[in-house]
Amino acid sequence: MSDKNTVNVDPVDPAKKTSERADPSADEATVSMELMIENCFWNDREFKLGQRVSSGGKCYECSFGRWLEIDDD
């Protein structure tokens, strides 16, 4: 399911810093880019813009401070 650049991560731990996850088709996913930080966090681990993680059979891409769920075919 994931390619060699996708990092496998544990499920979200609510006690640790994790960036918001958003559906890419949701209105809230469209945000002014200058207001967003580029990096994302998953369980206190920092990821750069464009990096991907996989957890629970789902793949997410870091997009300006949010995780966007993507199809990883």
Each residue of 4-53: pLDDT tens digit? 789 999 999 999 999 988 876 655 545 555 556 789 999 999 999 999 99
* DSSP class per residue in 13-72: -TTS----EE-TTSGGG---GGGS-S-EEETTEEE-TT-EEEETTEEEEEETTEEEEE--
First-last CA distance in the chain: 6
Residue 68 clears pLDDT 60, i.e. is over it: yes
pLDDT at 39 (0 to 100) = 94
pLDDT at 15 (0 to 100) = 96
Instruction: Name the helix (H) or strand (E) containing 4.
Output: none
pTM over 0.85: no
